[in-house]
Amino acid sequence: MDFSLTSEQEMLQKMFREFATKEVAKVAEKADKEEALPPRLLKRAASQGFMGAVVPEEPYGGAGLDVVTFTLLLEALAAECASTALTIHVHNSLALRSIYRHGTDATKDALVPGMVAGERIGAFALTEPGAGSDPTHLRTTAVRQGDEYVLNGAKTWVSNGGIAGVFVVFAATDPAAGARGLSAFAVPAEAPGLTVGGREKTLGLNAASIHRIYLNDCRIPADYLLGAEGDGYKIALETLDFGRVGISAAAVGLARRVVELGVKFASERVQFGAPIGAKQAIQGYLADCVTEVAAAEGLVHRAAWLADQGQPFTQEASMAKLFAGRMAGNVTNKVLQVHGGCGYVMDYPIQRYYRDARALEIVEGTTQIQQIVIAGGLFAGTNVKVRP
């Protein structure tokens, strides 16, 4: 058994951390207040290859990162700004990867180069006002008319929605067929009939561009169907498996930084004549936190490693997401407590991490949905049918 990173992974991790320190840290607070990332940041990310992280170098100029290395990128970004990590994660894991794996050559030629260059940011539009954990009951429809599809419906919680150049949209091509009637489409932002609604007012992840989108007789070339008609549910599940590894990595990066903030504060804040870090209660809190981070990191890297080996990783991705999402909530809560009143004012960064972390138990399948996936594996082969 070998837990070490390769020398190339170590080199890239150093590069990711330098980028995060130099480019992301300085904009994080302002972006949180202004509810937007500076566009220059994503251009800089593209120049480093981060907007094409998950596709190979040939033929579209991607960075071709293996999955473990991609998790190192998200960990590094989330340590400074979870909104930045979410933006780059959604673009790569949910949008670019889906189009690259399931698009026709013509679709990929049309969309992937701009995505890799960071000129066309990707978004993923599965959730609807009436269909969250259960996408099989989504109501957006897609009807084939000649050499086009016509889409109608509304999507909510679309991360990158306000800055996207292309949306991966899930719609029913056969509404009576439930999951088997869902299909996935690449919908360019300029497609007629697509409009973007206002930004969702969120508790955290303020700089992530989370919007509703509306499709009113939205026409796209029939070629922009991803996979075949009826493949949509399979594509969504496969994409979310991958996405869960990415969100878990962001949770690890965020929480690791939060422990550092806790140690710093506890070393500086003096009460009863000594730094509060000298108190065993505070040490215990922080020891628990760093242990939880390490455990989550192990789950994340194991799921990523399995993905790199081409082995099934659905269960491991859900375990990582279940544990890391909760862990980020626990750790930020405990470290906020270590800050005392200073944790509850907006002057210290811990409040941003606390607000951002809370989303990680919800996005890309709630904790309860991860439990169902994991239980499905546990009871496989028994007479118990695990159903949501």
CB burial class (10 A; 0-12, 13-18, 19+) of residue 180?
A: middle
Residue-by-residue DSSP string for 103-168: S-HHHHHHHHHHHHTTSSEEEEE--BTTBSS-GGG---EEEEETTEEEEEEEEEEEETTTTEEEEE
**Chosen residue from 126, 142, 235, 304 binding ligand FAD by CB under 6 A:** 126
Per CB under 6 A, which region of 54-62, 273-281, 308-316, 363-371 contacts ligand FAD?
363-371
How many residues sit in the footprint of ligand FAD (CB under 6 A)?
21
Q: Which of 241, 288, 244 is nearest to 262 (CA)?
A: 288
Q: Which is nearer to ligand FAD, 39 or 388 (CB)?
A: 388
Closest of 326, 339, 344, 330 to residue 282, by C-alpha: 339
Binding window for ligand FAD (CB under 6 A); candidates: 30-38, 123-131, 308-316, 377-385: 123-131
CB 37 within 8 A of CB 89: no
Q: Which residue type sits at 256?
A: R
The verdict on 376 binding ligand FAD (CB under 6 A) reads no
Asked whether position 336 contacts ligand FAD by CB under 6 A, the answer is: no
Task: Look at the alpha carbons of 34, 36, 38, 41 in this order and tell me if their dihedral is positive or negative.
Answer: positive
User: What is the contact mask toward ligand FAD in residues 85 to 104, using x (rule: CB under 6 A)?
Assistant: -----x--------------
- Which range touches ligand FAD (CB under 6 A), out of 36-44, 103-111, 217-225, 364-372? 364-372
CA proximity to 190, closest of 165, 223, 168: 165
Q: Which long-range contacts (CB under 8 A, 24 or more apart) does 267-276 make?
A: 269/340, 269/342, 276/338
300 or 373: CB nearest ligand FAD? 373
Q: Mask: binding to ligand FAD, 166-185, rule CB under 6 A, as x and -? A: --------------------
Between 93 and 315, CB nearer to ligand FAD: 93
| Burial class for 341, CB neighbours closer than 10 Å (0-12, 13-18, 19+) | exposed
Catalytic residue among 75, 292, 361, 364: 364
173: which 2 tokens? 């091509």
Cβ proximity to ligand FAD: between 240 and 286 the closer is 240
Binding residue for ligand FAD, selected from 69, 159, 206, 209, defined by CB under 6 A: 159
388 near ligand FAD, rule: CB under 6 A: yes
Q: Are 301 and 353 in contact (CB under 8 A)?
A: no
**Window 185 to 214, contacts with ligand FAD (CB under 6 A):** 205, 210
Is residue 328 near ligand FAD by the rule CB under 6 A?
Answer: no
Q: How far is the CB of 365 from ligand FAD (least distance, A)?
A: 6
Best CA proximity match to 387, nearest among 193, 136, 141, 180 = 136
Segment contacting ligand FAD by CB under 6 A, of 4-12, 124-132, 260-268, 302-310: 124-132
State which residue, 107 or 127, has the beta carbon closest to ligand FAD: 127
238 among known catalytic residues = no
Stretch near ligand FAD under the rule CB under 6 A, chosen from 24-32, 63-71, 119-127, 320-328: 119-127
- Kindly report the backbone phi and psi dihedral angles of residue 168, in degrees, each rounded to the nearest multiple of 5, phi listed first: -90, 115
Crossing angle of helices 82-89 and 67-80, in 10° steps, is 150
∠ at Cα 159 (230, 252), nearest 5°?
A: 105
C-beta of 231 vs 364, nearer to ligand FAD = 364
Catalytic residues: 364
* Contacts with ligand FAD, residue ranges (CB under 6 A): 90, 124-127, 132-133, 157-159, 205, 210, 359, 362-366, 368-369, 388
